[in-house]
Homo-oligomer: A and B are copies of this chain.
């Protein structure tokens, strides 16, 4: 499929507008509760137009997943690279990255809009194998990323608290996804950044002690 050219000034093509509308609706209500009808009315397109672009709801879900996994990846990667720029020590670079993440999350307005990944993983049979695999490979990517950083830290800093680094890498992903969920549930946007702060404190505790 041809990529949408970066047509700057023109009105955004329907495909774009559909993805945007779908993003908001799905994050707010979930995939199942979002109807194709409401989306096409919102962006002013026909049902046939929808079918032309995405085939079916699953196609829309897949396109969304691809887009937002990539978006999140870029943001998070940028943050942690910046952390390493600011302090080349592996431990402190990581701690700076975490702090930048915390501050970014604090700046977000209301309760975090949530994460398409989290939103899909409990709607299993509703989305295709393909989509679950996308989600899975993204999570595996994060696991590797964090694991690598923790490994580099461990080379220089002896562990004051004994924990498995693989598990500690998973903890980051879990606190983010779980934090989003609890933030939503409690209607408290502060919960997510607070949990990253807990993670940061733990990392410091593990490698620096009290």
A208 closest partner in B (C-beta) = B161
Count how many chain A residues have C-beta atoms less than 8 Å from C-beta atoms of the other chain: 52
A104 at the interface (CB under 8 A from B): no
A73-81, A91-99, A121-129 - the one binding chain B: A121-129
Q: B132, B179, B205: which contacts A205 (Cβ < 8 A)?
A: B205
**Closest residue of B by beta carbon distance from A174:** B178
Please tell me if A157 contacts chain B, counting CB pairs below 8 Å: no
B121, A181: Cβ atoms closer than 8 Å: yes
Interface of A is mostly: helix
Q: Which residues of B have CB within 8 Å of A170?
A: 182, 191, 194-195
Q: Which residues of B contact A195 (CB under 8 A)?
A: 167, 170-171, 174
Q: A174 contacts B173, CB within 8 Å? A: no
Which A residues from 37 to 55 make CB contacts under 8 A with B?
none
Nearest CB in chain B: distance from A114 CB, A = 8
Closest to A177 in B: B178
- Which residues from B are CB-within-8-Å of A10? none
Contact among B28, B121, B177, B210 for A209, CB-based, below 8 A: B210
